[in-house]
Amino acid sequence: MVQQFNLTNCVKCHIVSCNLTYFCQALKMNSQIKLLNVAFNNISDINSNCFQQSDHLRFVDLSTNAIVFIQSGLFENLNQLKLVNLSSNPIKTLHTNTFNNVSKLFLISLRETNMLRAKKDVFHTLSFKILETNNYLTCCLAPNETVCTAVKPWFFSCTDLLTNIVLNVVFSCVSFFILIANCLCVIVLRISFRINHRKGLEKTGAFSVSVALVNVSGIFCCLPLIVLWAVDLTFMGEFFLIASQWRSSVLCFSILALFSFFSFLSPLLLSIFSLSRLQIVKFPMNTMFKETQFVLKCSLPLFCASGLISTTLTLLSWFIDVQKRNVEMQMVICFPFVDPSDKMILAKVTTALAITLQIVAVVFIATVYIICFFL
């Protein structure tokens, strides 16, 4: 296709919708070109030295082609360049030195590129006015003074998961403290149970088992927190680059499952154990709640029910995520408990269910202890 186009004396070159696949060889014959418009063609590859002799180039329109990779140093040292249009290309990534020493750049257009990967400092040497894009990830790469046209999604941020070092330290300390405290309690209660069993005090073991089960549920609470802290530490300063993949990852949905499990199990366990206190106070010599096996039999359905609810919720969230990616080309966050966009029915149902369960549990536990107080 190159042979059909003579760019030797062309200053403003428009080669649009011509099924062009390559143009760099013809461009090397013209060092005076100022405008190059090769939109709506089939260009898929551009050599890194394609514009090496185009010192006067000001406007480049490569939109609506088949460009997947932008070569390193492609626009390097083009000091007159003001506008670059790369829109509507299946671009996957941008290299760090793509725009090195481009001092007069005014606008870069990256609309409809679906760029999922990029180097954090891809624009670090640039100072340009406008970045056109519909992907907010690209906005996070732009300098602070650049105006970005993308609309910020409610669930997306250019910061890390934990936005500052103080929060990071507090988050990690609290998470590991909860984990260590609950594990130690379980170990101590296990030792206490075995000692009582040797002494023939089997019935006193029911209380140890009850408290240990509450501690086990507490472990399910801190595990998601520790995973979040570890992810933030791993991708510190660059989390926004993998945010889209993270929101649909198996790890993120696993955190959802664990956190949901704790959210439903904890109030149920506390409710049943407060009921056991009432029975022991009211019938101190004749209650099944003083028997270890009975406590375990009462707790097992609660674990099963919480596991079933959390698993169902996680699978529904994953299914909705897949549908949105396939149909709407957008991803939902794997945590359904907060949804400022007010569009996720599952988030509303889950939030209502969790809050209702917590309120009912609080009222029930308070009522039980009030009754115990007057007995």
Q: What is the pLDDT of residues 16-66, one digit of tens each?
A: 988 888 888 878 777 889 999 999 999 988 888 888 888 899 999 999 999
Residue 6: the pLDDT is 66
pTM above 0.75, yes or no: no
Ramachandran area for residue 294 (φ above 0: left; ψ -120 to 50: alpha; else beta): alpha
pLDDT band at 330 (very low <50, low <70, confident <90, very high): very low
| Burial of 201 (C-beta count, 10 Å sphere; 0-12/13-18/19+) | exposed
Question: How many Cα atoms are found within 13 Å in the side-chain-facing hemisphere of 28?
Answer: 10
Q: Which of the residue ranges 225-229, 284-288, 300-304, 311-315 would you say has the lowest mean pLDDT?
A: 284-288
> What's the whole-number average pLDDT of the chain?
82
Question: How many Cα atoms are found within 13 Å in the side-chain-facing hemisphere of 271?
Answer: 14
Mean pLDDT of 107-128: 81
- Roughly how many angstroms between the first and final C-alpha of the chain, as a whole number? 95
pLDDT band at 157 (very low <50, low <70, confident <90, very high): confident
Report whether pLDDT(327) > 50.
no
Q: Give me the amino acid identity at 11.
A: V
Report whether pLDDT(342) > 60.
no
Q: How far is it, in rounded angstroms, from Cα 173 to Cα 178?
A: 9
Report whether pLDDT(255) > 70.
yes
Whole-number percent of the chain with pLDDT over 90: 17
Residue 59: the pLDDT is 95
Domains, the chain, in order of start with CATH, read 1-152 (3.80.10.10), 165-374 (1.20.1070)
Q: Which of the residue ranges 50-59, 70-79, 327-336 would you say has the lowest mean pLDDT?
A: 327-336
Whole-number percent of the chain with pLDDT over 70: 88
Mean pLDDT of 289-318: 87
Beta bridge partners of 13: 36
Asked if 34 and 61 count as a contact pair (C-beta separation under 8 A), the reply is: no
Other Cβ atoms less than 10 A from the Cβ of 228: the count is 19
Q: How far is it, in rounded angstroms, from Cα 68 to Cα 343?
A: 33
Single out the residue of 252, 288, 280 nearest to residue 375, CA to CA. 280
Beta bridge partners of 35: 12, 59
pLDDT band at 202 (very low <50, low <70, confident <90, very high): low
Q: Which residue has the tokens 């428009």?
A: 14
Report whether pLDDT(149) > 70.
yes
Residue 82: the pLDDT is 94
Report whether pLDDT(1) > 50.
no
Residue 117: the pLDDT is 67
